[in-house]
Amino acid sequence: MGRKLRYLLDTHVLIWAANGALDSKATLKSTLAAIKDIDNDLCFSSAAVWEIVIKSERINVDPERLCSGLVARGYREIPITTAHALEAAKLPDIHKDPFDRIMLAQARLEGICLVTCDKVVLKYQEGVLEF
C-alpha cells in the first residue's frame, strides 16, 4: 500500500466533483485517478465555499447542499487561518485572484497538493497539480 496523499480541490474542480462531472472535465487522467483513489484524502477550502456563495446565482450552485454533500462523502474542510493569510502575502505576484491565492497558501502550509485547471495558478508550480 502506497503513502496516503492529500489533495485540495480548487473551486472549479470542487464543483465538478460535486456534480459528478470529473470524468468529462479532466485534462490529465493521472490526476483524475489520484482524486478517485479512495486511499487518498480529499479536502476543500472554506475559501472555495466563500467564492461559491458570492457567485452562487451566476454559477447555479447551492453552497449549503454542496458542502453537506462533500462532508457526507468524506471531504475534509480546510478553514482559513491567519497563517494562511500571511503565507498568501508572501506568494509571488503571479495571480491576483484572492481565492486562488489563499487556497495555494493553504495547500503549501498544510502540505497538500492543490488540484486546479487554472493555467495562471499552475505557473506557481510548487504544490499544484493540473486537472
Q: Give a yes or no: residue 121 inside a domain.
A: yes
How many structural domains compose the chain? Answer: 1
The per-residue pLDDT for 2 is: 58
Q: Give a yes or no: residue 93 inside a domain.
A: yes
**Nearby residues of 56 by Cβ (< 8 Å), 6 or more positions away:** 62, 63
Give the model confidence (pLDDT) of 90-128 as tens digits.
999 998 999 999 999 999 999 999 999 999 999 998 889
Q: What is the distance between the alpha carbons of residues 34 and 54, in angstroms, rounded to a whole number? A: 29
Q: Are 40 and 34 in contact (CB under 8 A)?
A: yes
Q: Which helix (H) or strand (E) holds 106?
A: helix 98-110
The per-residue pLDDT for 20 is: 84
Q: Give a yes or no: residue 19 inside a domain.
A: yes
Q: Give a yes or no: residue 2 inside a domain.
A: no
CATH of the domain at 83: 3.40.50.1010
Q: Give a yes or no: residue 95 inside a domain.
A: yes
pTM of the model: 0.91
Give the model confidence (pLDDT) of 1-55 as tens digits.
556 899 999 999 999 988 888 888 888 889 999 999 989 999 999 999 999 999 9
Could you list the residue range(s) of the whole structural domain that residue 113 is in? Answer: 7-130
